[in-house]
Amino acid sequence: MTNKLLEVKNLKQYFGSPKNPIKAVDGISFDVYEGETLGLVGESGCGKSTTGRSIIRLYDITDGEILFRGKNIRDAKSRKELKQFNREMQMIFQDPYASLNPRMTAGEIISEGFDIHGLYKNKTERKEKIGSLLEAVGLNREHANRYAHEFSGGQRQRIGIARALSLNPSFIIADEPISALDVSIQAQVVNLLKQLQKEHKLTYLFIAHDLSMVKYISDRIAVMYRGKIVELGTADEIYHHPIHPYTKSLLSAVPLPDPMSERKRQRIPYVHEQNDGSEKVHEVLPNHFVYGTDSQIKKWTK
- How far is the first Cα of the chain from the last one, in angstroms, to the nearest whole number? 30
Q: Under the criterion CB under 8 A, does residue 256 sit at the interface with another protein?
A: yes
Considering the complex, state which of residue 122 and residue 266 has its C-beta at the smaller distance from another protein: 266
Sheet of 89-92: strands edge to edge? 89-92, 171-175, 203-208, 37-41, 220-225, 228-234, 288-292, 280-285
Q: Under the criterion CB under 8 A, does residue 255 sit at the interface with another protein?
A: yes
Closest CA to 164 of 100, 244, 75, 209: 100
Q: Could you tell me the CA-to-CA distances from 91 to 74, 120, 153, 253 in Å, in that order?
A: 18, 22, 17, 29
Distance CA 143, CA 151 (A): 9
Q: Under the criterion CB under 8 A, does residue 122 sit at the interface with another protein?
A: no
Least Cβ distance, residue 34 to another protein (angstroms): 20
Total chain residues near another protein (CB under 8 A) = 42
Q: Under the criterion CB under 8 A, does residue 234 sit at the interface with another protein?
A: no
Least Cβ distance, residue 104 to another protein (angstroms): 22
Q: Which of 184, 271, 276, 277 binds another protein (CB under 8 A)?
A: 184
Q: Under the criterion CB under 8 A, does residue 254 sit at the interface with another protein?
A: yes
Which helix (H) or strand (E) segment is 154 a member of? helix 153-165
Q: Which of 135, 182, 199, 283 binds another protein (CB under 8 A)?
A: 182
Distance CA 174, CA 94 (A): 8
Least Cβ distance, residue 256 to another protein (angstroms): 5
Least Cβ distance, residue 22 to another protein (angstroms): 16
Query: In this chain, which stretch among 82-90, 186-194, 199-207, 271-279 interacts with another protein, using CB under 8 A?
Result: 186-194
Query: In this chain, which stretch among 18-26, 49-57, 256-264, 275-283 interacts with another protein, using CB under 8 A?
Result: 256-264
Contact 47, 15 (CB under 8 A): no
Q: Under the criterion CB under 8 A, does residue 150 sit at the interface with another protein?
A: no
SS3 at position 297: helix
Q: Under the criterion CB under 8 A, does residue 260 sit at the interface with another protein?
A: yes
Contact 17, 58 (CB under 8 A): no
Amino acid at 84: Q
Query: In this chain, which stretch among 19-27, 118-126, 142-150, 248-256 interacts with another protein, using CB under 8 A?
Result: 248-256
Q: Under the criterion CB under 8 A, does residue 247 sit at the interface with another protein?
A: no
**Dihedral (CA of 41, 256, 248, 250) sign:** positive
Q: Would you tell me how many other CB atoms lie within 10 Å of the CB of residue 277?
A: 7
Q: Under the criterion CB under 8 A, does residue 98 sit at the interface with another protein?
A: no
Amino acid at 96: P
DSSP per-residue codes, 71-118: EETTT--SHHHHHHHHHHEEEE-S-TTTSS-TTSBHHHHHHHHHHHTT
Q: Under the criterion CB under 8 A, does residue 261 sit at the interface with another protein?
A: yes
Q: Under the criterion CB under 8 A, does residue 22 sit at the interface with another protein?
A: no
Query: In this chain, which stretch among 54-62, 83-91, 93-101, 261-269 interacts with another protein, using CB under 8 A?
Result: 261-269
Query: In this chain, which stretch among 6-14, 71-79, 106-114, 249-257 interacts with another protein, using CB under 8 A?
Result: 249-257
Site for another protein, rule CB under 8 A: 43-44, 152-155, 182-188, 190-191, 194, 209-213, 215-216, 236, 239, 249-250, 252-262, 264-265, 267, 270
